[in-house]
Amino acid sequence: MARTPAGSPPHPKGAERFHEERATYVVKSAQPDLEAGVKAIRETVKTLKPHPGVYRMCDARGDVLYVGKARALKNRVANYTQVERLPLRLQRMVAQTRSMEIVTTNSEAEALLLEAQLIKRYRPAFNVLLRDDKSFPFILLRADNDFPRIMKHRGARKAKGNYYGPFASAGSVNTTINALQKLFLLRSCSDSYFERRDRPCLLYQIKRCSAPCVGRIDKDGYAELVRQAKDFLGGKSTSVQQEIEAQMREASEALDFESAAMLRDRLRAATFIQGSQAINASGVGDADIFALATKGGQIGIQAFFVRGGQNWGHRAFFPTHTEGVEPEAVLSGVLAQFYEEVPPPRLVLVDRELPDAALLSEALAEIGGHKVEISVPQRGDRRRLVEQARRNAAEALDRRLAESGTKAKIMRELAEFLELSEPPQRIEIYDNSHIQGTKAVGAMVVAGPEGFVKNQYRKFNIKTAQTNDDFGMMREVMTRRFSRALEEDPDREGGMWPDLVLIDGGKGQMSSVRDTLEELGIEDVPLIGIAKGPHHGREGREVFHFPDGREKTLPVNSPLLFYLQTLRDEVHRFAIGAHRAKRSRAISASPLDEIPGIGPARKRALLLHFGTAGKVRAASLDDLQRAPGVSKAVAQTIYDFYHPGG
């Protein structure tokens, strides 16, 4: 039996170390075979000890089928060899298993954290998956300037400052920041913009900033506004309002009506923030509320985010791969994956008892650095919040099922209109973008029955085609896309081959794509070109071009036409975005970027010393050596780059 190397997983949050054992026993048969799967698992069990850890089950290609965690790996993995006791879903998994990869951890809580990370990384076919490709936005109050900036933030929390969130959407963050600017007059501009100002900007004129950039407020006064903002966002909104009310009364009694009016407007902003809450969460403090609903074999989960007694939005989740999994286990899996990226509050309210609530609390405490309570409230305000979340979960699931029914109908109509054997599960849409042939980029977006699959989008920097030849660009994109597909998945078992290719273009693009695929020996992938009709300015006159030269149209008010237009518009948007990004990089590029060994710091030092890249090019070797941060060897490298053979 041959051993194959396994990739190292990311380090679990809050863990000091883990140990990975590569126990990858490969069986040659690629077809689902229960006996071969059990054999591979038994071989792995021989190497295991009763330690906590995480196991990965992989198929013949090495793709991860399932990620699981265990208090005692040997006992847990051995259970999979008792096939007759497994549900049908897990029997299918065992039948596809050909190897296993093991990671030992220090504790079961650490294993739970690592399991959530690996599920998000590999998205296995037999794990419950939290399908949400959008990160959650936060409000960041930076702490790296004497006059801190308030801003929206997504992604890793690396910047120094205070983070408040998560918010359910970018819209809820923007609305809150606008109100906070009115309430606390904090700046939102970038540091470079802030440092260049010599007079107040428009935000000062409309009373959304105190203009610290030009000294309209001193450091201590601004620090007081920052303190009030932190108190307000931290749950002390009542005391902040009382403070502002007292200041307003003092200003009024002193006949300073201008200051009193400004303080009045700030109070109105505070009232707006509190009055815009969709739920009454007063007295709860910091908490997340989760409730689950089931219907028609589908599961919906509603989450409310409450911070400082204020509702910061809600979001519905619809996890996948839930067939045959108990709702309580689904909710546990969703929570573990959700908090893999979002810091947990001290309180998590759920609508049902979870089988591993104590373990989950321990794991979340490692992430958050504080105790986390998972509770099923029985009465009072907390119970009312959970009931409201449960109602919202049921309503969101009803909407989801209704939308699914509509989408299923559209997909059936699509198959009929485009003469497909069955509704497509994977649609790939292609377009090119360039300006007069420069910085050309090809784009592919992917859509399925549940909408766009954004983590499958791809862009192609045009390398060989003439950049003023749209047909040649499309040929290059198709050649690269499908040559790779033939190489990596020749048997078309990986789910990465399209059931329909939609091209933004007419007869010319259709012909180039058709001929390209025929040259590759691919003749069974359905192709359709979508082009605007003879009157290009009129929406709804799109013409659909078939590979055999036929053309079809749809009624102007057809839902299917609207759907196809949405697909075309999405690839157009993605292609233009990729082209603009490439053009922006080219504009900001410097000739110094091409010199080996010259990084950003040295490039900046050279430009500060000489003024322009042209002067660096014209400099003598002695002049280069006198530049700060440039050694004799680096100066020689720069000189030789511009004077080869000299």
pLDDT in tens, 425-465: 999 999 887 655 556 788 899 998 888 988 889 988 877 75
Angle subtended at Cα 621 by Cα 619 and Cα 623, rounded to the nearest 5 degrees = 55
Closest CA to 30 of 91, 89, 99: 99
Where a domain ends, among 275, 308, 329?
Answer: 275
Residues 325 and 345 in one domain: yes
Q: What is the pLDDT of residue 590?
A: 59
Q: Is the pLDDT of residue 366 over 80?
A: yes
Instruction: Check residue 206 and give its pLDDT.
Output: 81
State the CATH number of the domain containing residue 625: 1.10.150.20
Task: Considering only residues 261 and 339, tell me which one the structure prediction assigns the higher pLDDT.
Answer: 339
pLDDT of 374 over the 80 cut: yes
Structural domain contains residue 252: yes
Stretch 12-41: mean pLDDT:
59
In this structure, are 532 and 623 located in the same domain?
no
Residue 278 pLDDT exceeds 60: no
- Alpha carbon 213 to its chain centroid, in Å, reads 35
pLDDT at residue 8, rounded to an integer: 45
Looking at residue 364, what is its pLDDT?
A: 92
Q: At residue 19, does pLDDT exceed 80?
A: no
**Mean pLDDT value across residues 598-614:** 75
For the chain, the straight-line distance linking the first and the last C-alpha, in angstroms and rounded, comes to 60
**CATH code for position 68:** 3.40.1440.10
Please write the tens of the pLDDT for every residue from 75-121. Answer: 999 999 998 888 888 999 999 999 999 999 999 999 998 999 899 88
Tell me, yes or no, whether 441 and 574 share the same domain.
yes
The verdict on whether omega for the bond into residue 600 sits within 30 degrees of 0, i.e. cis, is no
Cβ–Cβ under 8 Å, residues 64 and 124: yes
- Specify the pLDDT at position 115: 92
Q: How confident is the model at residue 361 (pLDDT cuts 50, 70, 90)?
A: very high
Of 20-29, 103-112, 422-431, 590-599, minimum mean pLDDT range: 20-29
pLDDT at 4 over 70: no
Other CB atoms within 10 A of residue 378 CB: 8
Percent of the chain scoring above 90 in pLDDT: 28
457 and 548 belong to one structural domain: yes
Residue 336 belongs to a domain: yes
Name which of 284, 282, 320, 314 is nearest 299 in CA terms: 320
The answer to whether 314 and 392 are in contact (CB under 8 A) is: yes
User: Which of these three, 242, 275, 308, is where a domain ends?
Assistant: 275
Total of domains in the chain: 5
The amino acid that residue 140 corresponds to is L
Pairing of strands 138-142, 161-164: antiparallel
- Indicate whether 498 and 541 sit together in one domain: yes
- The amino acid present at 615, given as its one-letter code, is K
Say if 443 falls within a structural domain: yes
**Mean pLDDT for all residues in the chain:** 82
Parallel, antiparallel or unpaired: strands 150-153 and 551-552:
unpaired
CA 245 – CA 208 distance, rounded (Å): 19
**Residues 69, 174 within the same domain:** no
Q: Is residue 297 part of a domain?
A: yes
CA distance 616 to 455: 42
pLDDT tens, position by position, 165-182: 788 777 777 777 887 888
Please give the Cα distance from 584 to 588 (Å, whole number). Answer: 6
Asked if residue 550 and residue 629 are part of one domain, the reply reads no
Q: Is 33 a residue whose pLDDT tops 90?
A: no
Q: Using CA atoms, how far apart are residues 519 and 586, in angstroms rounded to an integer?
A: 34
Residue 262 lies in a domain: yes
Which of 219, 242, 275 delimits the end of a domain? 275
**Same-domain pairing of 319 and 374:** yes
pLDDT digits 0-9 by tens, 241-257: 777 777 787 777 778 77
pLDDT exceeds 50 at position 595: yes
Q: Are 344 and 457 in the same domain?
A: no
User: Looking at per-residue confidence, does 109 or 610 come out higher?
Assistant: 109
Mean pLDDT of all residues in 31-53: 87
How confident is the model at residue 270, as a pLDDT?
65
Buried/exposed code over 5-28 (b: 16+ C-beta within 10 A; e: otherwise): ebeebeebbbbeebebbebbbebe
Q: How far apart are CA 124 and CA 63, in angstroms?
A: 8
Q: How confident is the model at residue 238 (pLDDT cuts 50, 70, 90)?
A: low
- 465 shares its domain with 609: no
Residue 465: predicted pLDDT: 58
pLDDT band, residue 7 (cuts 50/70/90): very low
The residue type of 643 is H
What residue numbers bound the domain in which 377 lies? 287-398
Per-residue pLDDT, 25: 41
Bridge-partner residues for 452, per DSSP? 447
> pLDDT tens digits for 207-226?
888 899 998 899 999 998 88
Angle at 427 between CA 302 and CA 137, to 5 degrees: 35
What's the CA dihedral at 249, 252, 258, 261 to 10 degrees?
50
Q: Determine the Cα–Cα distance for residues 116 and 107; give it in Å rounded to an integer.
A: 15
pLDDT(534) > 70: no
In a domain, 440, yes or no: yes
Average pLDDT over residues 402-429: 86
The number of residues in the chain equals: 646
Whether the CA torsion 93, 94, 97, 101 is positive or negative: it is positive
Q: Whole-angstrom Cα distance, residue 334 to residue 127?
A: 11
Instruction: Report cis status (omega within 30 of 0) of the bond before 344.
Output: no
d(CA 364, CA 349): 14
Question: Does residue 6 belong to any structural domain of this protein?
Answer: no
Helix axis angle, 108-122 relative to 357-368, nearest 10°? 80
Does 265 lie in the same domain as 143?
yes
Q: CA 113, 114, 115 angle in degrees (round to 5)?
A: 90
Q: What percent of the chain is modeled with pLDDT above 70?
A: 85
Q: How many helices (H) and strands (E) would you count in the chain?
A: 20, 20
pLDDT tier at 468 (50, 70, 90 boundaries)?
Answer: low
Residue 581 and residue 436 share a domain: yes
**Residue 437 CA: distances (Å) to CA of 46, 197, 389, 589:** 61, 39, 53, 19
